[in-house]
Structure 1
């Protein structure tokens, strides 16, 4: 699982990163809201946002996130506990609001509750992909071998079914910023199509999208 953390308190951010690292999760940490905004399409499973940070505050960043992504869980962490601020956070689209100071265990529990839901995408011939396990199964529930990059791309597409993911976002998420170009992406898409049925992954001028049964 991949988390975007927006927090300008270095000590707190390091504690949060270490806690999630011990759980085997990846955390991309940003101190600046504008920098975080540039990266929000990189296939995150959860957003943890402080409000009072440089350049672009957490609530305005959340507004930008929700204009593109209505479903990925978002948790606001803030020492601003005024009722109007909390109300605005929920109205903007946060799933939970954690008041500072808090126990790290509280944040861990909230992320577990919001993000660790078993999800399954069904393809043709009862082939299915479990997002939590990142395992592709055939109709008899035998696992189908996937490379690490195939897993990352399939997971990225499954997170936003029926919505196109840009080529830039695919390159950022799967290759972590390494420039591979359209030929590298097409080659990876071709391999995945051979395993989940070609018609389930469609392309347009923007990028690729996964077409699902549900």
Structure 2
């Protein structure tokens, strides 16, 4: 049933449906009608809340990026060594992706085939995810927790690559690995921490 009343719940439904659809297909391929049907909300309310598809897509990107930025703020406020913070950040990203499986698909699609109209937005928001991880690695190298003969940005790319591949291939990994009841997340965390351990000074 189509929801005719303009309320916050309708906006949330639109945003949730749009996030899933944009993650599964490109910005150009997703229509307002598809979003309306998937959300169960009248298409007129999409313009009412978001001012059209372009603004809605930007709000989707903003909402997903904010989840990472909030995690970064949380890590910054924590005590502990840079390597401890890096492990916490990596674990936090993995847990966040487990709870929001469409997140990584959306980010991967935007980075792989960026929309020109959102290029500056992507650079200002999504690139901060990589930059923060790089900074943590740099701090860990500076204080002697990680070997110095490696570039921090390379470590960040490797960690991000492990996470991205895992969640892009999540259903296949679960099937091939015969994981049960979320045990595949333990495998991911083990893989990430094993890589970090290989870089740590003994």
Which structure has the bigger radius of gyration?
Answer: 2
With CA pairs under 8 Å and 6+ residues apart, which has the higher RCO, 1 or 2?
2
For normalisation by structure 1, the TM-score amounts to: 0.29
For normalisation by structure 2, the TM-score amounts to: 0.30
Structure having the higher helix fraction is 2
